[in-house]
Amino acid sequence: MGGCNADESTNWAEVFDPNTQTWESLPDPGPRLRSSLIKIIYPNEGKVYVSNSEKKRYFYDPKEMRWGVAAMTRKVERMCIIAGVLYAYGDENCFLWFDTKNEEWRVVKGLEVLCRNCCASALSVANYGGKMLVLWDKKQPNKWYNTNIWCSVVALERRNGDDDVWGIVEWASVVLTVPSAYVFLRCRVETE
């Protein structure tokens, strides 16, 4: 899936067909989605889901060739896909996974200590070779002018017949110290 220039609203989104090697325009999703910044795109059960800068979630159904608004019971901002499952850092300072069977966000268990340390300062979550990489910042104790950037690697494990996801922190440490006036732009994970 890709997009076009802002002035080409009829071609706002296109999909590439690898069989015919051609791009086809998707129907116009409407001005609200068309004018927003897309944060993440992910496929799930035959639909393509899109989360935007307004923290709303939409879907495109290729069989029905239509856009729709997806239910979102929690506010989530930082998201990544690991092994086909959508993970996020949520509005209640906890890590979540999206249960497609019940169409709801559920808490990743076992990460209570990590959640307390991240508080509301999680900067990014990313897929790191099938594990969840978490970046967050924290002011240095007794040094208001410096901020530590922390990183953690979390292994994820399904339990109870896939009804629960547990996280196991494998590693966590300060990876960088920056001036407190820094601005975080984005995270890109490179794995070999």
Q: Of 44-53, 59-68, 90-99, where does mean pLDDT reach its minimum?
A: 44-53
Q: Mark whether 94 and 66 lie in a shared domain.
A: no
Average pLDDT of the residues in 4-19: 67
Q: Mark whether 51 and 132 lie in a shared domain.
A: no
DSSP 88-153: EEETTSSEEEEETTTTEEEEPBT-HHHHHHHTT-EEEEEEETTEEEEEEEEEETTEEEEEEEEEEE
40, 56, 72 - which closes a domain: 72
Please state, in angstroms and rounded to a whole number, the distance separating the CA atoms of residues 178 and 63: 49
pLDDT of residue 145: 83
Q: How many domains is the chain partitioned into structurally?
A: 2
Q: Which domain holds residue 20?
A: 1-72
Work out the pLDDT band at 118, boundaries 50, 70, 90: confident
CB 135 within 8 A of CB 150: yes
Mean pLDDT of the residues in the chain: 80
Q: Mark whether 52 and 125 lie in a shared domain.
A: no
Average pLDDT of the residues in 49-73: 78
pLDDT of residue 165: 95
Residue 1: pLDDT above 80? no
Q: Mark whether 47 and 119 lie in a shared domain.
A: no
Work out the pLDDT band at 119, boundaries 50, 70, 90: low
Residue 9: pLDDT above 70? no
72, 99, 129 - which closes a domain: 72
CB 125 within 8 A of CB 117: no
pLDDT of residue 53: 64
From the number of C-beta atoms within 10 Å of its C-beta (0-12, 13-18, 19+), residue 58 rates as: buried
Q: Mark whether 128 and 178 lie in a shared domain.
A: yes
Token pair, residue 123, equals 């900067």
pTM: 0.67
Q: Mark whether 80 and 171 lie in a shared domain.
A: yes
Strand-pair category, 22-25 with 38-44: unpaired
pLDDT of residue 32: 77
3-state secondary structure of 10: helix
Strand-pair category, 122-128 with 104-107: unpaired
**CB within 8 A of 54, min separation 6: which ones?**
32, 36
Residue 125: pLDDT above 60? yes
Amino acid letter, 53 = S
Q: Mark whether 83 and 48 lie in a shared domain.
A: no
